[in-house]
A and B are shown apart, each in its own frame.
Chain A
């Protein structure tokens, strides 16, 4: 049984205390539906493979911007033995549950407040849209925000680091934007703590974010985003204009991942209901909440909403950041900061539901209004159900992928060099995935460090990627002969070339071309060639290696310290328990 955290309302005293978490489990199952079935959910940026091999680029040693640092490396460690599918299901299932369990700790003790908190946390545009676009590290960051607010308050009020923080902080820092959100949630909530204690927390945040910070610092000088990245700013959510959509946690830039219901009246009503309940609950919440706690979540809301709206109001600034500030491109997706709005939103809406239910005349009416408040966010966004209407159906990799991987593993034994993925385009829509879009999974499926296009086509316009090697690859592909191309690619550090015959740009001379070498796999869908020309293997400087090693040591130390603390406490409790039992027997 977990002990309640300080600042957390007492557990619901009535006999329905179990209901909110049961409701969270039910909502999560309905939200995910077929996504929990056998296979891999491959949707936009969500790429999972059976056994992601750990490689140096995942640690942040790639010349490109560290967009998947440290998430890829963490997955590579945890999915050892081919458990990638299981791990993905755990992440999909655990994220909404974790968010809901944290949210109930922010609201009043009544069952209705907790039920509404669960609904608003699990069933909102932010969760649905980020799930669809596959930003699972962002969602994990979102899920730990309520926890970090509660834990930050605890650190502010009492010495010591809560055990949960050692595990939850690194979990919330699996990508750059999620890491910044997590650090803000923790540090703002702990504001007012003695300076030394607060500085200790800041050091923990630095350690949790160290892998991508160091990777960004060592490579970001070369990795700048090209023009046009302002398209990733906050946008309208269906029919709802961007600043209004953001009030209800909507406003992702990509209109393709916005559920259809957001285009009609339901989109407006979702936001209206949430804002109305929040307005109704504001007064009671302000009176009940401790001043420092209330100010903390209000500051987080202002920061999250302000940053998101800024990317909509001043798109030029976002573009400028990406083009001129090394690593600035990591922050271009403005709506991600809306995760910071969750604690205040959920507190106010839950408080509003309590106010509404308290005004009901009689018990039956109160139950009816509680049901209405709990269900209305679902009723206005029903197309999120069943894996967003089937958009998150799992798929199975063709058997040929495993054969190609085996061939590459055999060929790569004891040899360095990168793998180039052709056609040199970033997205695929393979038939075996129901033609649903996904970031090309082949590079992750195979084992070497890989070089793939990171250009992104948005509404037909191409946003240039950040990998400085990409232009050299394109130049190499334009060379007249397969031998010339192999030599040029070898000079770039490429030893293997994997070509996907079923990709749309296959054999298109702009993106694809044959490369001379030894064919180590030749199948219906894939061909892998080993370049026989000299390969200039990428060299890492000693400074870079040492900095990366230190960053990862700091990151890994957090859950390790947590595990050691947990084991020590358990052992101490067991010893104390045995002594007590022995005393009683005596």
Chain B
């Protein structure tokens, strides 16, 4: 009984992770929005920002 439940749980976990991965990858390819366009109104373009500044 315990083995059967363990097997079912394993299959559910494996299936869930696989599904989440595929959905995530597909939605990531459709909604690609990771650009960080530079602020071209400022004379110097930021190389980056630290987390503390980004959170401000």
Of B3, B13, B36, B41, which is within 8 A of A256 by CB?
B36
Residues of B within 8 A of A436 (CB): 35-38
Of B15, B32, B38, which is within 8 A of A427 by CB?
B38
B50/A255 in contact, CB under 8 A: yes
Known interface pairs A429-B40, A457-B45, A511-B43. Does A382 touch B24 (Cβ–Cβ under 8 Å)?
yes
B17/A372 in contact, CB under 8 A: yes
A378/B21 in contact, CB under 8 A: yes
Residues of A within 8 A of B15 (CB): 368
B17-53: contact bitstring with A at CB < 8 Å (1 yes, 0 no)? 1101100110111011111111111111111111101
Instruction: Write the chain A residue with the least CB distance to B40.
Output: A504
Residues of A within 8 A of B10 (CB): 360-361, 364-366, 368-369, 372
Complexed CA–CA distance, A385 and B42 (Å): 31
A389/B28 in contact, CB under 8 A: yes
Report the interface size for chain B: residues with CB under 8 A from the other chain: 43
Of B13, B45, B50, which is within 8 A of A437 by CB?
B45
Residues of B within 8 A of A80 (CB): none
Instruction: Write the chain A residue with the least CB distance to B38.
Output: A429
Complexed CA–CA distance, A375 and B13 (Å): 11
B29/A375 in contact, CB under 8 A: no
A425/B50 in contact, CB under 8 A: no
B43/A425 in contact, CB under 8 A: yes
Instruction: Write the chain A residue with the least CB distance to B47.
Output: A456
Residues of B within 8 A of A30 (CB): 25
Complexed CA–CA distance, A58 and B7 (Å): 59
Of A372, A382, A455, which is within 8 A of B14 by CB?
A372
B34/A388 in contact, CB under 8 A: yes
Of A254, A364, A428, which is within 8 A of B45 by CB?
A428
Instruction: Write the chain B residue with the least CB distance to A230.
Output: B50
Residues of B within 8 A of A382 (CB): 21, 24-25, 27-28
List the interface of chain A (C-beta within 8 A of B).
30, 33, 44, 132-133, 231, 235-236, 238, 253-260, 360-362, 364-372, 375-376, 378-379, 382-391, 423, 425-429, 434-437, 455-460, 462, 504-505, 508, 510-511
Complexed CA–CA distance, A458 and B53 (Å): 9
A236/B51 in contact, CB under 8 A: yes
Residues of B within 8 A of A362 (CB): 3, 7
Complexed CA–CA distance, A233 and B12 (Å): 41
What is the minimal beta-carbon distance from B56 to any residue of chain A, in angstroms? 8
Complexed CA–CA distance, A133 and B7 (Å): 43
Complexed CA–CA distance, A214 and B17 (Å): 50
Complexed CA–CA distance, A44 and B48 (Å): 9
A504/B42 in contact, CB under 8 A: yes
B50/A383 in contact, CB under 8 A: no
A458/B50 in contact, CB under 8 A: yes
Instruction: Write the chain B residue with the least CB distance to A363.
Output: B7
Residues of A within 8 A of B27 (CB): 382
Residues of B within 8 A of A258 (CB): 51
Residues of B within 8 A of A437 (CB): 36-38, 45-47
Cross-chain pair count, CB within 8 angstroms: 182
Of B13, B25, B47, which is within 8 A of A457 by CB?
B47
Of A235, A255, A389, A505, which is within 8 A of B44 by CB?
A505
Instruction: Write the chain A residue with the least CB distance to B5.
Output: A361
Instruction: Write the chain B residue with the least CB distance to A366.
Output: B10
Residues of B within 8 A of A460 (CB): 46, 53
Complexed CA–CA distance, A299 and B3 (Å): 40
B24/A371 in contact, CB under 8 A: no
Complexed CA–CA distance, A44 and B35 (Å): 11
Known interface pairs A236-B51, A255-B54. Does A379 touch B44 (Cβ–Cβ under 8 Å)?
no
Known pairs A378-B21, A504-B41. 4 more at Cβ < 8 A?
A360-B7, A385-B25, A429-B40, A457-B47
Known interface pairs A379-B20, A434-B37. Does A429 touch B45 (Cβ–Cβ under 8 Å)?
yes
Residues of B within 8 A of A370 (CB): 14
Instruction: Write the chain B residue with the least CB distance to A132.
Output: B34
Complexed CA–CA distance, A451 and B31 (Å): 40
Instruction: Write the chain B residue with the least CB distance to A383.
Output: B28
Of B24, B40, B48, which is within 8 A of A257 by CB?
B48
Residues of B within 8 A of A426 (CB): 44, 47
Instruction: Write the chain A residue with the least CB distance to B11.
Output: A368
Residues of B within 8 A of A456 (CB): 47
A368/B48 in contact, CB under 8 A: no
A231/B11 in contact, CB under 8 A: no
Residues of B within 8 A of A256 (CB): 36, 46, 48-49, 54
A231/B50 in contact, CB under 8 A: yes
Residues of B within 8 A of A429 (CB): 37-40, 45
B37/A364 in contact, CB under 8 A: no
Residues of B within 8 A of A231 (CB): 50
Known interface pairs A362-B7, A364-B11. Does A375 touch B17 (Cβ–Cβ under 8 Å)?
yes
Q: For B3, B25, B42, which residue has the most chain A Cβ atoms within 10 angstroms?
A: B25
What is the minimal beta-carbon distance from A454 to any residue of chain B, in angstroms? 11
What is the minimal beta-carbon distance from A433 to any residue of chain B, in angstroms? 9
What is the minimal beta-carbon distance from A470 to any residue of chain B, in angstroms? 14
What is the minimal beta-carbon distance from A458 to any residue of chain B, in angstroms? 6
